[in-house]
Structure 1
């Protein structure tokens, strides 16, 4: 997908935070207010969580999203300024991201499907640790992982939950996924794996009755799962816009050199 036209129509979306709502009113008064259906670019005002919401809202339309930070965490957002917005968007650098598609089967045999822009995570539901078997492209790679959980993260999501679980930061164009354990107990020294973006990751939940596990694709949770498959869906390409010199690639590189 190419970038926005020279004089884009803008739709402003804001989180519930007062500062985001105030920014929305000020920007609409200055630049006009198109609907999402009319807009060439969607401007998201909030934090990273709100950016994920807006990306999910635009999975079908695939309109470019330009975020400005009016929240608490703004790794995926540009700095907030009212002046020069059209010029900033015109000069913006594009980052293309592809979501993960989760297919989960629960203990009752029902199948569930959801998309995740950041990660698909499996989490224990009780005090009992989870027991997982991990297969890559149908081949068993880890017969038993005893843990609090595990996740598959996209490059865009590698600086979020994945990083807090000591997973690697992945360059946005690396065509790699991170498979990261959450508080692994056995094997204690296993720190996860880097996988091709074409890999299909399958989790089989062992002792599911005794050790129930939930699967979460961004904000969609499926409880009491017995099997979860995760693949990257490259038929969907979302476009995020970042100020010149502050691309997502640059941010992720800089994050690796933080003290």
Structure 2
């Protein structure tokens, strides 16, 4: 779906960049060429950097509902388009929209403090000591694993399934699958458990067993909460993020291709 018909006035663009010299220089050149407005006044936010900068831009604009078009000036750039200074307005006119719902994490620590954070890629739990974590896993109120011994465990969205989830040997999820990936990180017991595919409507609850002897931290993208005792993960259905992609760099096609990488 194109952003707007060609007869419409050009969109107001807000450029955001990573802190690298190449990204900052590109931002200055693009602002000189296409003009600039604040993100609050923009029709489209253009993110210049890598996947980390793209995630940051999505988080910063989560409540503004601004479409975000990324151009890769980082390393992998899975969530971004190819960088090119010329022809940007035409590319935006032809861009396809991808709608994403992030995850909502509510983490309760050993002091009883509850913290709510959103995650676009995944919510991860990690052991914080040399000893393995012991975690009980419940889905929709039903205990599925009374005791998981592991280095950690994560819940990934389809968009995040090709990131850390894939490195942890989790499944790649097509965007339209309506699924979340529940993936262990180095499970020791039960040793053969490789995770589960869950409906996107699932409520996943992790209870940390023996949290003082075997402390666990929870992370939602780049936000980490130390010494958690309970973590609940659901899809944030009230938040919809819009990413823009060139037709030849469609996110759904990229995810499909990842499943055939030898």
Q: TM-score, normalised by structure 2?
A: 0.96
Q: Are residues 1:136 and 2:142 paired?
A: no
* Structure 2 equivalent of residue 94 of structure 1: 97
For residues 102 and 153 of structure 2, the distance between their equivalents in structure 1, rounded to whole angstroms, comes to 18
Alignment of 1:42-191 (within 5 A): 42-191=45-194
Deviation at 1:209, TM superposition (A): 1.2
Which of 9, 20, 23 pairs up with 1:17?
Answer: 20
Moved more, 1-10 or 107-116: 1-10
Deviation at 1:4, TM superposition (A): 4.9
Alignment of 1:193-204 (within 5 A): 193-204=196-207
Deviation at 1:3, TM superposition (A): 3.1
Moved more, 103-112 or 127-136: 103-112
For 2:56, what is the secondary structure of its paired residue? helix
* Structure 2 equivalent of residue 211 of structure 1: 214
Gaps of 5+ in 2: none
Q: Is the 8 A contact 1:17 1:71 kept in 2?
A: no
Q: How many residues align?
A: 259
For residues 246 and 44 of structure 1, the distance between their equivalents in structure 2, rounded to whole angstroms, comes to 16
* Structure 2 equivalent of residue 242 of structure 1: 245
For 1:8, what is the secondary structure of its paired residue? coil
Q: Is the 8 A contact 1:4 1:41 kept in 2?
A: no
Deviation at 1:181, TM superposition (A): 0.3
Which of 18, 34, 37 pairs up with 1:34?
Answer: 37
Q: Is the 8 A contact 2:2 2:93 kept in 1?
A: no
For 2:84, what is the secondary structure of its paired residue? coil
Q: Deviations over 1:162-217 (max 9, x none)?
A: 11101111111211100000011111111100000000000000111110000111
Q: Deviations over 1:66-100 (max 9, x none)?
A: 00001112011100011110000110111100011
Q: Deviations over 1:7-31 (max 9, x none)?
A: 2111100000111111101111111
* Structure 2 equivalent of residue 192 of structure 1: 195
* Structure 1 equivalent of residue 261 of structure 2: 258
Q: Deviations over 1:114-169 (max 9, x none)?
A: 11111100000010100010000010001111000000001111111111101111
RMSD, aligned α-carbons: 1.2
Deviation at 1:2, TM superposition (A): 8.2
For residues 8 and 239 of structure 1, the distance between their equivalents in structure 2, rounded to whole angstroms, comes to 15
For residues 188 and 4 of structure 2, the distance between their equivalents in structure 1, rounded to whole angstroms, comes to 48
Gaps of 5+ in 1: none
Q: TM-score, normalised by structure 1?
A: 0.98
For 2:177, what is the secondary structure of its paired residue? coil
